[in-house]
């Protein structure tokens, strides 16, 4: 597994303690936070106070397990998913972990009506607790009103986690992903550039409104594209509000922009090999790596979490990064996933995972997939991404035109 710790977080150890009334909320938030941390290469693990058989793990054993895990390399965040924990248990946890230089952050997610005293009495007593040398760090989020109460949030990692949780929209929604239609550069086997759609790519653009309307009906939708011509031409006929993000532009191939893989192999053989050896971290001369793309699209992910239904029309490398976020695909594998042209992918987050539906059109398109160790374009790539699509189910339908 390729792991690179986000700069400035090497020495931070944080125990995130989830406090919810509803078990499903806890499950959903824990699952999302774990995925988000993994995607940002922040090493994170969930600890429960019950084993697989449901037998309670003693408090002292749980603390020992967490502290032992934190002794491993690059461990940064432990998420405590405990039964019946209350914010008033805070001082106990805080003082124990503090001894091992582990910060704690309580994340409480509660309804507006229920547990009304949580914000007043227990917190008052917690913050005035004489045993506490320092006040607790916590965030209380009210489900319906979205009111929040934040106390003693003191570093970048905690701020980032809170910002993420604040942005999560728990409503039912779907996210549709599509590459742009086949482009002129795709036909010429060239990477990058800013070419227009091929005639088949234009056909896909014309089909897209029907495809989407069939899916979404009357529900609202917003369409996000990159700033490049091929994505905007693909979105051209869609009757929805559109937004072009620079952050959704294709991975910048630097000096190799506009070249074919064969030309890159001939002109920059060492780079060609280095990229195959570690495609996630390899940064093109004067360009970007997949790791760079993940960092650049983080604001897009944040906004995506806040929004309702969104259709994103962007590029192969960017879609691999977005797909990896939702499907928890390891860094080493995500740059090798196949995301074919002229295929719409629907992701529906649920409390149990993400449901994936693929709608493959019958408009032919070239493959742009290069296998590891070769500069040839593979016409029938092994579909690695399907391995990660089976969290719930995968459906493929052919759309006749
Ligand atoms: O550079 C253009 C491609 O969309 C990215 O594909 O990372 O498999 O070379 P690649």
CATH code at position 146: 3.40.50.300
CB contact set of 211 (below 8 Å; sequence gap of 6+):
344, 359, 361, 399
Residue 3 falls inside a structural domain: no
Among the listed residues 94, 83, 131, the one whose alpha carbon sits nearest the alpha carbon of residue 14? 94
Among the listed residues 148, 167, 217, 132, the one whose alpha carbon sits nearest the alpha carbon of residue 33? 167
161 and 226: one domain?
no
CA of 317 to the centre of ligand 1 (A): 6
Atom of ligand 1 nearest to the CA of 369: 8
The best mutation among 316, 337, 385 to test binding of ligand 1, ranked by most ligand atoms within 8 Å of the C-beta, falls on 316
CATH code at position 273: 3.40.50.1240
CA of 258 to the centre of ligand 1 (A): 12
76 and 143: one domain?
yes
Is 275 near ligand 1, meaning CB less than 6 Å away? no
Residue 4 falls inside a structural domain: no
Residue 241 falls inside a structural domain: yes
Contact criterion met (CB below 8 Å) for 36 and 68: no
Residue ID of nearest Cα to ligand 1 atom 9: 370
CB contact set of 199 (below 8 Å; sequence gap of 6+):
none
Torsion angles phi and psi, residue 356, rounded to 5: -115, 130
186 and 114: one domain?
no
Q: Can you say how many angstroms the Cα of residue 370 is from the centroid of all Cα atoms in its chain?
A: 24
160 and 195: one domain?
no
3-state secondary structure the chain: CCCCCCCCCCCCCEEEEEEECCHHHHHHHHHHHHHHHHHCCCEEEEEECECCCCCECCHHHHHHHHHHHHCCCCEEEEEEECCCCCHHHHHHHHHHHHHCCCEEEEEEEECCCCCHHHCCHHHHHHHCCCCCCCCCCEEEEECCCCCEEEECCCCHHHHHHHHHHHHCCCCCCCEEEEECCCEHHHHCCECCCCCCECHHHHHHHHHHHHHHHHHHCCCCCEEEECCCHHHHHHHCCCCCEEEECHHHCCCCCHHHCCCEHHHHHHHCHHHHHHHHHCCCCCCCCCCCCHHHHHHHHHHHHHHHHHCCCEEEEECHHHHHHHHHHHHCCCCCCHHHCCCCCCEEEEEEEECCEEEEEEEEECCCCCCCCECCCCCCECCCCCCCCHHHHCCCCEEEEEECC
At 382 the pLDDT is 55
Residue 310 falls inside a structural domain: yes
147 and 122: one domain?
yes
CA of 171 to the centre of ligand 1 (A): 34
Domain of 62, in residue numbers: 14-166
Contact criterion met (CB below 8 Å) for 115 and 24: no
Residue ID of nearest Cα to ligand 1 atom 6: 317
124 and 264: one domain?
no
What is the set of active-site residues?
81, 180, 250
Residue ID of nearest Cα to ligand 1 atom 1: 191
Give me the number of domains the chain comprises: 2
Rounded to 10 deg, the angle between the 316-327 and 23-39 helix axes is 140
Is 253 near ligand 1, meaning CB less than 6 Å away? yes
204 and 353: one domain?
yes
At 289 the pLDDT is 98
Is 316 near ligand 1, meaning CB less than 6 Å away? yes
Atom of ligand 1 nearest to the CA of 279: 7
Contact criterion met (CB below 8 Å) for 351 and 24: yes
Among the listed residues 12, 20, 221, 229, the one whose alpha carbon sits nearest the alpha carbon of residue 110? 20
Residue 1 falls inside a structural domain: no
> Residue 350, Cβ neighbours under 10 Å: how many?
13
128 and 182: one domain?
no
CA of 291 to the centre of ligand 1 (A): 13
Virtual CA dihedral for 107, 301, 334, 25, nearest 10 degrees?
Answer: 30
Is 192 near ligand 1, meaning CB less than 6 Å away? yes
Residue 2 falls inside a structural domain: no
pTM > 0.75: yes
158 and 249: one domain?
no
**Per-residue pLDDT tens digits of the chain, which is 401 residues long:** 444 444 444 567 999 998 888 888 888 889 899 999 999 999 999 999 888 888 989 888 999 999 999 999 889 999 999 887 776 777 888 888 988 889 999 888 887 776 554 544 445 455 555 555 567 888 888 888 878 888 888 888 999 999 999 888 877 889 999 999 999 999 999 999 999 999 999 999 999 999 999 889 889 999 999 999 999 999 999 999 999 999 999 999 999 999 999 999 999 999 999 999 999 999 999 999 999 999 999 999 999 999 999 999 999 999 999 999 999 899 999 999 989 999 999 998 877 778 888 888 989 999 999 989 999 988 766 554 555 543 333 444 433 33
> Residue 146, Cβ neighbours under 10 Å: how many?
10
Residue 7 falls inside a structural domain: no
Is 370 near ligand 1, meaning CB less than 6 Å away? yes
Q: What is the CA radius of gyration of the chain?
A: 23
Residue 5 falls inside a structural domain: no
349 and 308: one domain?
yes
- The whole-angstrom separation of Cα 234 and Cα 4 is 35
At 121 the pLDDT is 43
- The whole-angstrom separation of Cα 180 and Cα 183 is 8
115 and 239: one domain?
no
Residue that terminates a domain, selected from 166, 201, 230 = 166
Residue that terminates a domain, selected from 119, 143, 166 = 166
At 381 the pLDDT is 63
Residue ID of nearest Cα to ligand 1 atom 5: 317
Atom of ligand 1 nearest to the CA of 251: 1
Contact criterion met (CB below 8 Å) for 108 and 139: yes
Residue that terminates a domain, selected from 166, 198, 227 = 166
215 and 357: one domain?
yes
């Amino acid at each position: 597994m390729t792991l690179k710790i986000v700069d400035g977080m090497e020495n931070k150890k944080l125990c995130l303690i989830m406090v919810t009334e509803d078990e499903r909320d806890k499950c959903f938030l824990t699952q999302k936070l774990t995925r988000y941390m993994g995607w940002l290469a922040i090493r994170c693990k969930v600890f429960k106070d019950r084993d697989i058989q449901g037998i309670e793990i003693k408090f002292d054993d749980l603390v020992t397990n967490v502290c032992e895990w934190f002794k491993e390399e690059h461990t940064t965040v432990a998420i405590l998913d405990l039964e019946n924990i209350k914010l008033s248990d805070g001082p106990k946890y805080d003082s124990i972990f503090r001894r091992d230089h582990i910060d704690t952050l309580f994340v409480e997610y509660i309804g507006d009506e229920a547990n009304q005293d949580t914000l007043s009495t227990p917190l008052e007593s917690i913050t005035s607790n004489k045993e506490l040398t320092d006040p607790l760090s916590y965030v209380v989020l009210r489900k319906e009103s979205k009111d929040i109460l934040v106390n003693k949030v003191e570093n970048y990692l905690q701020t980032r986690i809170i910002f993420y949780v604040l942005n999560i929209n728990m409503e039912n929604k779907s996210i549709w992903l599509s590459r742009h239609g086949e482009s002129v550069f795709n036909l010429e086997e060239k990477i990058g550039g800013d070419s227009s759609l091929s005639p088949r790519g234009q056909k896909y653009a014309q089909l897209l409104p029907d495809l989407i309307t069939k899916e979404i009906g009357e529900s609202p939708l917003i369409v996000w594209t990159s700033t490049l011509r091929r994505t905007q031409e693909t979105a051209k006929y869609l009757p929805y509000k559109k937004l072009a993000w620079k952050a959704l532009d294709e991975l910048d191939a630097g000096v190799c922009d506009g070249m074919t893989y064969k030309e890159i192999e001939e002109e920059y053989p060492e780079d060609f090999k280095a990229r195959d050896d570690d495609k996630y971290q390899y940064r093109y001369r004067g360009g970007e790596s997949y790791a760079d793309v993940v960092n650049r699209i983080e604001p897009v992910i944040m906004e995506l979490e806040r929004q309702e239904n969104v259709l994103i029309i962007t590029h192969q490398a960017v879609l691999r990064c977005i797909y990896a976020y939702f499907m928890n695909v390891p860094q080493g594998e995500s740059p090798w996933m196949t995301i074919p042209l002229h295929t719409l992918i629907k992701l529906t987050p649920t409390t149990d995972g993400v449901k994936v539906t693929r709608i493959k059109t019958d408009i032919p398109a070239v493959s742009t997939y290069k296998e590891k160790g070769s500069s040839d374009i593979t016409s029938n790539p092994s579909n690695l991404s399907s391995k990660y699509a089976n969290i719930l189910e995968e459906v493929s339908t052919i759309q006749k035109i």
